[in-house]
Chain A
Amino acid sequence: MKHSFFAKNPSVLLFLACLALFTIAVTVMSEAWGLSLIPTSFVKTLGKTLCLCLVALAMDLIWGFTGILSLGHMAFFAIGGYMIGMWLMYARTEEIVILSLANSPLPATPEEIRQGITSQIFGVVGSSELPPIWSFAHSLPLQLLLVLLVPGLLALVFGWLAFRSRVTGVYLSILTQAMTLTLALWLFQNDSGLRGNNGLSGLQNIPGLGQTSQDVISIWLFLASALALALGYLLLSSITSGKFGSVIRAIRDDETRMRFLGYPVESYKLFVFTLAALIAAIAGALYYPQAGIINPAELAPIASIYLAVWVAIGGRGQLWGAVLGAALVSLLSSWFTGGRAPDLPLGFYTIKWVDWWLILLGLGFVCVTLFAPQGLAGLLQRLAGPLTPRRGGAPLGPDPGALQEKEARE
């Protein structure tokens, strides 16, 4: 069974091999275990990039394969981050509080510890009560469950309402934007219980690993992200290559016709929407411990639009294309906006990339839309076209991993 899957989808094996090589290379060059060629901060950037690649896969499933232009899936990504962030922050604060109370003459009661945690976390928003949504924050397993449960249920309810009333096309996109905006505005309020615009911070400090250096933690998180991306890729390529893939692509191309073939189109959309939300949530839960901080700005409507841009540039309907687009554009973006790109003096005007990057990205997006609707994946495939026999349009393209490696040396 396994054999025939890889035999039919050689690009999956190729992708996994490239990802493995890339992962090993970064690990070997890291400060934790190797040659110290890659600074820890850059290991984190690469780890975060892998998470963005994973959420791009989810976006490709829903947009590229099923044709639903959701402009709200970064909300699920961020919620995944919030859910894991609550445990990280709570458990870490608990450690600190217990440590500071250890010097007091009487042993600290659970109530005192709780009070200490509450004032530490919520002092900034002037609250002395632990909000009810933090009820499970003390427990890692429960909070991990919430990483899946909260975005999953939200996607299920939202999707059910939207698809049942047959909202499609641009109306659905607007609705998803409204969803993520609403959530962001709600989170911005102090009484949302999630520290308002302060968000959650200190997430890079993993509870129980106080003695472990960030060099090591960053590599572990990086490896976890790579593993998640590999598993996500395997899952999505197996889903999209069989009859299910056929059906969702057909729904993308002509959903009315699929109804007359007897397919419950709405159920498929709901299934895909929710699955993509779950994958996004997992990606977010791995991303924010590496980012260290999460706040409501992460749910801004523009974040989900960027996600769509990555997938469009990389190549819709091609899993490795989505990964390529996300890696390329997000790394370039952090290079340009991080002030590391040298200014470009034109004599009469100096181009500062921090300001001009968005315009460059916009131009790139327009060019891709106009000249390469299949994205970079389509371009590369066309270049490779004469070399490889095109049997049933099987994707046989260069690997995204290699490109990330090239990026990594910059």
Chain B
Amino acid sequence: MTGQTTGATLLEASGLSVTFDGYRAIRNLSFAIGERELRAIIGPNGAGKTTFMDIITGKTRPDEGRVLWGPLSRSLLAMNEAQIARIGIGRKFQRPTVFEDQTVRENLIMALKAPRSPFAVLRWKPRRPDLDRTETLATQVGLGQALSRKSGELSHGQKQWLEIGMLLAQEPKLLLVDEPAAGMTLAEREQTTTLLTELAKTRAVVVVEHDMEFVRRLNCRVTVLHEGSVLAEGSLDHVTANPQVIEVYLGR
């Protein structure tokens, strides 16, 4: 089996439940990921994949359960979105969100790992290492020539890459990526899988994806969500052989 949990457990969620207007979107969900691990989450529409990410990042508060982080097992439920982001959880949304009114450089500088309080930011001055890092990141995502361009002028694909660059700039310990392949060309998909597997060597990465081909290429452990709880977990071949999974998801 490939992509076994490596290192100590980084994030552990257990017994999560969320109810929206009487509808239980997440039901007694448990999930754990190691410090350097790539994990794919699949499941039919409405299975609760995005909601699960919302819980981890502090956007949605669960009715029950707990989410523990790192070797000290700090509870994430007591923190707000910004605090959770600062301890090292980065998130990429389904639609690309970059600050269109600002240049690629400004976008990246805002994302760079640095103190975030107003007073610290007021005192911040562009220094050589930061500028170098900005350039390296831009080059890494193919925007080396576009540093001074307004990001609103970029193509859809370039915006996706800029957002990925911003995520890298944050240097997160856990990266949550929601449907990265949506709207990408075949070549871009391949680039993305390479990048994600590369990233997972130094941190934990969770990828939500519908596209089975994409998941297969990630070559990692897969968690299948259905109606808000885990239906199966294991290698892709293992879960696709599971009759329940075939019934609710693949068989349709």
By a beta-carbon cutoff of 8 Å, the part of chain A in contact with chain B is 239, 242-244, 246-247, 249-250, 253-254, 256-257, 259-265, 267-268, 271, 391-393
Which one, B38-46, B69-77, B101-109, B205-213, is touching chain A?
Answer: B101-109
By a beta-carbon cutoff of 8 Å, the part of chain B in contact with chain A is 57, 80-83, 85-86, 90-91, 93, 97, 99-103, 106, 109-111, 116-118, 121-122, 124-126, 148, 150, 166, 170
CB neighbours (8 Å) of B86 from chain A are 262
Docked Cα-Cα span, A247 to B115, in Å, equals 13
Docked Cα-Cα span, A260 to B121, in Å, equals 17
Shortest Cβ gap from B12 to chain A (Å): 21
Q: What 4 A-B pairs come out closest when comparing CB atoms?
A: A262-B85, A259-B81, A262-B86, A271-B118
A246-B109, A250-B99, A250-B102 as given contacts; A263 in contact with B116, CB under 8 Å? yes
Q: Which residue of A lies closest to B148 (CB)?
A: A392
Docked Cα-Cα span, A90 to B81, in Å, equals 51
Docked Cα-Cα span, A253 to B151, in Å, equals 13
A260-B57, A260-B91 as given contacts; A243 in contact with B166, CB under 8 Å? no
Shortest Cβ gap from A251 to chain B (Å): 10
CB–CB A239/B110 < 8 A: no
Beyond the given A243-B109, A260-B85, A260-B90, please list 7 additional residue pairs across the A-B interface where CB-CB is below 8 A: A243-B124, A256-B81, A260-B81, A261-B111, A267-B117, A268-B118, A393-B150
CB neighbours (8 Å) of B121 from chain A are 243-244, 247
Docked Cα-Cα span, A244 to B120, in Å, equals 9
Q: Kindly name the residue among A244, A260, A265 whose own CB sees the greatest number of chain B CB atoms within 10 A.
A: A260
A-B contact pairs, 21 of them (CB 8 A): A243-B109, A243-B121, A244-B122, A244-B124, A246-B102, A246-B106, A246-B109, A246-B110, A247-B110, A249-B102, A253-B99, A254-B97, A259-B80, A259-B85, A260-B57, A261-B85, A262-B116, A263-B82, A265-B82, A271-B118, A392-B148
Partner of B170, one of A244, A257, A259, A262: A262
CB neighbours (8 Å) of A247 from chain B are 110, 121
CB neighbours (8 Å) of A262 from chain B are 82-83, 85-86, 116, 170
Partner of B99, one of A244, A254, A264, A265: A254
